[in-house]
Structure 1
Amino acid sequence: MKICLVPTMFPKYKGDYYGSFIFDDAKMLVNKGFEVHVVTQHNTGIPYEEIMDGIHVHRFRWMKPKKFKALVHFKGLIDNFRLVTYLISLFFNLMWIIKKLDIDIIHAHSVVPTGLIGVIVANIVRKPVFITVHGMDITNFENNPFFKRLIRFSLNNCNKAVAVSMDLSEKMEKLEIKEDKIIVLRNAIDTKRFIPLKNRKIRNYYGVNDKDILILFVGYLDTFKGVFELMNSFHEINKKNVNVKLMIVGEGPKNNELKKIASRLCLETHVIFAGKISPSDIHEYYQSSDIFVLPSHTEGTPLVVIEAMACGLPIVASNVGGIPEIVINNKNGFIITPQNEIELISKVQILVKNQSLRNKFADKSIEIINTEFDNDIKVEKLINLYKNAAGR
């Protein structure tokens, strides 16, 4: 069977974290014997066509920005014009790939723009089409009447609308998506790699000793991820504890601003900016840490939380999106109100001071992962969806 994935996010090269969860899904399908093609936008400095771990990647031309940025961060007249060129180019390239290679299944990731184009093309060529909803593709547009119509059209005209959380499923129902169209298929991870192993390699490299409590953040460095609240909160936590350090993994538009804040607050020796880490190495950072924090303003079901849980970390995360479905308050972590620094300080401080509670939460995190978030279980469910749609 030939599968065509149509994501807005996909790694630009092997080891790129951007869209790595879709790359992992594609690789699992290849390992199961499927022929997998990915149609996605081109970015500067990478080939238009290549094969990555058996995945056929086709990148289309469009009026891309000179410096890479995610589609969800496009703003203004010029970016809107870029999106128009994106839509037109995606439509014609997807049509060409589907017909030329006789693709069996189209699977778009994100409702607009890829899901919309996927549905239009699928209806023309008479192929089954799935759309996975990840979060921001709905939450960013649910109050916009024009985009609500596009979302409603796309999801009501695909074979199945795949939500990565119950929260997103409920949001789709409120948008008047037909109930029989919606299925929940949670994000999952490789539980053979993300394991609760204590790893000293990263701690040693950054000079974090055994007595230090290492707090970890992994994500895009922008305001909506709660990075400024995290920095301010850590400043207060650091005043009360001499043995805490904060490691920030990731990059983004607020990177330099955060470093300036760390310098202004005299936190240079306590805050570690690790930068962008290859997906193949990221598990070592979880395994070297003691607490995972994600104080986002908005989310779907963040893969980083699942990865942290699998590595045996207690979690402090915001009450947004699908997070409360995987972080059970007072069981494997603490759920906090977004943008509430007082709560964030209080909950992290409790975990810093209480090792037995950290261990208790860690055990529960591992238990939840082993029952619900294994990649092998997810891919089998995905394959069954494909086979049923294709009549095989």
Structure 2
Amino acid sequence: MRVVLFPSTDKPWDGIEVYSYELAKRLSKKGIEVIGIRIGRSDRTKIINDNFKLIDVKTPNFHNIMYFARILISSLRTFNVLKDADIVHAIGGYYAGIELLPIKRKVVTIIGASSLREKSFFKRNLRRFYMSLLYRNASAYIVPNEIIMKEIKKCLKINPFLIPLGIDTDGLRTNESRSKIRSEFGFNDNDIIILYLGQLVNGKRLPELIKGFAILSRRIPEAKLVLVAWGYLKNHLESLSKSLGLDNKVIFMNPIPYERRKYIYNTADVFVMLGDSFGDGGISNAVLDAIGSGLPVIVSKNSPNYLVVKNNFNGYLVDPTDYNQIADAIFKAIINRQELGKNSLYIAENFEWDKVALQIMKLYETVYSSQ
């Protein structure tokens, strides 16, 4: 079977790229011929392994709303590749590039429902209308969780297949000792590391996290809050940390390449992701990685992350506006980190990418045999 993934990459960064990359790895290992299409600035073809070929397609350097033009151009320029495939699998809004093309077997993963971001009745329904125009005529629709499934059923009047996002448990394992890895990042063995990995932007509840950490820091002086992230709030968060006397305890680190993420997770004792004020119904990839790394995880009770973080089992659900609750949850997670971390690994077993890929392969076979 020949499967085209759109988009694709060999160096993933965001959620869509991670999904495509991890799926391509599993499909190619199972003997499926995978052709990935990546929007780029030059034309080239790269062989990733015996069964995985990545095609870069040169497009104009458009940004923001004009990025759609790049999607359309890349799909038109690779139409023959798409037409000859047994399955064309698009992820998220990239499906717009193949929706109107005469391709027999189109599968789409609706990785997020943008309408869930909107509190305004008008804007939410406008986004729902847009989705109803975008996601048409696919042979099969995949959604990653129940929240998005409910929204898609309402918008599209279809019954999508529920196949969760995966966790790359093997890729998160390290051979080096924790002490050595910590030393390379400049941490001591007795440091208590609370980790956040994401963006420094509004909606992530980072000021609340820092204020909650300030309370925790008085109880556990050796605690450090490590923010592996970038974004426009960095200067503000640095000033806030300094004003709270935390400038040596709140550490800002640049994002690290995907293949090296396992090392920063390995340094941590607890992972925290409090964002709840925007989103598209998706579970954070960073939360999934933290679970796959065997960490206790603290998330907002109002975010979709509660689907994989079970209160008092592998972490805690908190009100992100309550600084004392945040501090108490981190404190309890530190005290109970062995048991909570073990339970995270238990949950991760159900989300292993190998299992997820098998479900997708079965769906491919069903689509192929029915058309």
Give 1:362's aligned amino acid. Answer: G
Alignment match, 2:300: 318
After superposition, the C-alpha distances for 1:87-114 in whole angstroms (9 at most, x for unaligned) are: 344234313313256222222211x3x2
- Whether the 8 Å CA contact 2:215–2:324 is kept in 1: the answer is no
2: CA distance, partners of 1:314 / 1:192:
18
1: CA distance, partners of 2:156 / 2:13:
36
Distance 1:165 1:96, change over 3 A: same
Alignment match, 1:368: 347
Give 1:109's aligned amino acid. Answer: I
- Whether the 8 Å CA contact 2:115–2:124 is kept in 1: the answer is no
Give 2:205's aligned amino acid. Answer: G
After superposition, the C-alpha distances for 1:185-244 in whole angstroms (9 at most, x for unaligned) are: 111122223249862233223443333211011112212222222222222222332110
1: CA distance, partners of 2:321 / 2:100:
39
| Alpha-carbon offset, residue 133 of structure 1 | 2.0
Alignment match, 2:78: 97
Identity %: 22
Alignment match, 2:204: 225
- Whether the 8 Å CA contact 2:144–2:165 is kept in 1: the answer is yes
Distance 1:201 1:139, change over 3 A: farther
Give 2:191's aligned amino acid. Answer: D
- Whether the 8 Å CA contact 1:17–1:278 is kept in 2: the answer is no
- SS in structure 2 of the partner of residue 216 of structure 1: strand
Distance 1:257 1:50, change over 3 A: farther
Distance 1:38 1:316, change over 3 A: same
Aligned residue among 352, 356, 360 for 1:382: 360
- Whether the 8 Å CA contact 1:27–1:55 is kept in 2: the answer is no
1:58 aligns with 2:53: no
Q: Name structure 2 gaps, 5 residues minimum.
A: none
| Alpha-carbon offset, residue 332 of structure 1 | 0.9
1:302 aligns with 2:284: yes
Aligned pair count reads 358
Give 1:14's aligned amino acid. Answer: K
Matches within 5 A, 1:41-80: 41-42=39-40, 47-51=42-46, 53=48, 54-65=52-63, 79-80=64-65
| Alpha-carbon offset, residue 149 of structure 1 | 1.7
1: CA distance, partners of 2:42 / 2:181:
33
Matches within 5 A, 1:330-341: 330-341=312-323
Distance 1:186 1:38, change over 3 A: same
| Alpha-carbon offset, residue 176 of structure 1 | 4.4
Aligned residue among 150, 174, 187 for 1:170: 150
After superposition, the C-alpha distances for 1:334-357 in whole angstroms (9 at most, x for unaligned) are: 0123444343223113323x2xx2
Give structure 1 regions of 4+ aligned residues with deviation exceeding 6 angstroms.
none
- Whether the 8 Å CA contact 1:295–1:339 is kept in 2: the answer is no
Aligned residue among 132, 153, 164 for 2:133: 153
Q: Name structure 1 gaps, 5 residues minimum.
A: 66-78
- SS in structure 2 of the partner of residue 217 of structure 1: strand
- Whether the 8 Å CA contact 2:309–2:315 is kept in 1: the answer is yes
- SS in structure 1 of the partner of residue 37 of structure 2: strand
2: CA distance, partners of 1:342 / 1:133:
37
How well do the aligned residues superpose, as a CA RMSD in angstroms? 2.7
Distance 1:136 1:254, change over 3 A: farther
Alignment match, 1:130: 107
Q: TM-score of the superposition, structure 1-length normalised? A: 0.82
- Whether the 8 Å CA contact 1:168–1:321 is kept in 2: the answer is no
2: CA distance, partners of 1:235 / 1:49:
50
1:203 aligns with 2:186: no
Aligned residue among 266, 270, 278 for 1:287: 266
1: CA distance, partners of 2:174 / 2:316:
19
2: CA distance, partners of 1:236 / 1:57:
51
- SS in structure 2 of the partner of residue 388 of structure 1: helix
Alignment match, 1:239: 218
- Whether the 8 Å CA contact 1:14–1:52 is kept in 2: the answer is no
| Alpha-carbon offset, residue 289 of structure 1 | 1.0
Give 2:305's aligned amino acid. Answer: I
Q: TM-score of the superposition, structure 2-length normalised? A: 0.86
1: CA distance, partners of 2:14 / 2:257:
6
After superposition, the C-alpha distances for 1:153-180 in whole angstroms (9 at most, x for unaligned) are: 333532222111112112222324312x
Distance 1:50 1:16, change over 3 A: farther
2: CA distance, partners of 1:366 / 1:345:
24
Give 2:359's aligned amino acid. Answer: K
1: CA distance, partners of 2:289 / 2:81:
38
